[in-house]
Structures are given as structure tokens and as C-alpha cells.
Amino acid sequence: MSSLRTYLALGDSMSIDFYTRVRGGGATSQLHRRLGAGWMLDDRTEDGCVIARAPRDGHGHLITLTVGGNDLRVRAQEILEDRFAAFRDAHLALLRAVRQAN
């Protein structure tokens, strides 16, 4: 039986390495390094990720989620007019799905 734990990273460009221009410079990579050798990384972050496309089937002992910024950037007027209700509901549904999978 493996004692390896899984760090599952979900979300958008707030967590990826690309924009830091440093290999391993993104938030996901930095946290994974700090966790130490007993942790495996399942990195499902991607540039442009929105709530509707965020993976819901991953499993992890530790899960980070950075999502919502692209939804706001692309649909700001619609979200503001709705007073954030649908945005909030979509985010909560994603959190519930991730929790249920874990």
C-alpha cells in the first residue's frame, strides 16, 4: 500500500506556470514542491478554464480550486445584472461535485 498522497489542482491561469515564465513558478508547482516528496501532483489547471469546464471527477487528499475569473471576464455584464446569483450557484455546484467525488 502506497503512503503517497495526491494534491489535485483545479482551475485557471492563476495557478499555471506559463505566465510566470519560470518552469515550476506557478502556484500549483510551488505548493507541490513545498508539500514534499510524499505528494503526487494531479495538475488539471489550464489557461482559460471556466466553471462549466472545470473537472469534477478528480480525487485528492488536498485540492485547490482557482476558477471564476474567466467567467467574470467573459460574462461580466450578464453576471452583474444577475447580481451574481447564477455565478454563485455554478460555483457552489462545482464545489459540491468535487467534494462528493472525494
Q: Which domain holds residue 64?
A: 5-101
Mean of pLDDT over the chain: 94
Q: CA-to-CA distance for 58 and 60, rounded, in angstroms?
A: 7
- What is the number of structural domains in the chain? 1
Identify the pLDDT of residue 37: 95
Identify the pLDDT of residue 45: 97
Asked whether residue 71 carries a pLDDT value surpassing 70, the answer given is yes
User: How large is the average pLDDT for residues 60-80?
Assistant: 95
The tens digit of pLDDT for each residue in 51-69 reads 999 999 999 999 999 999 9
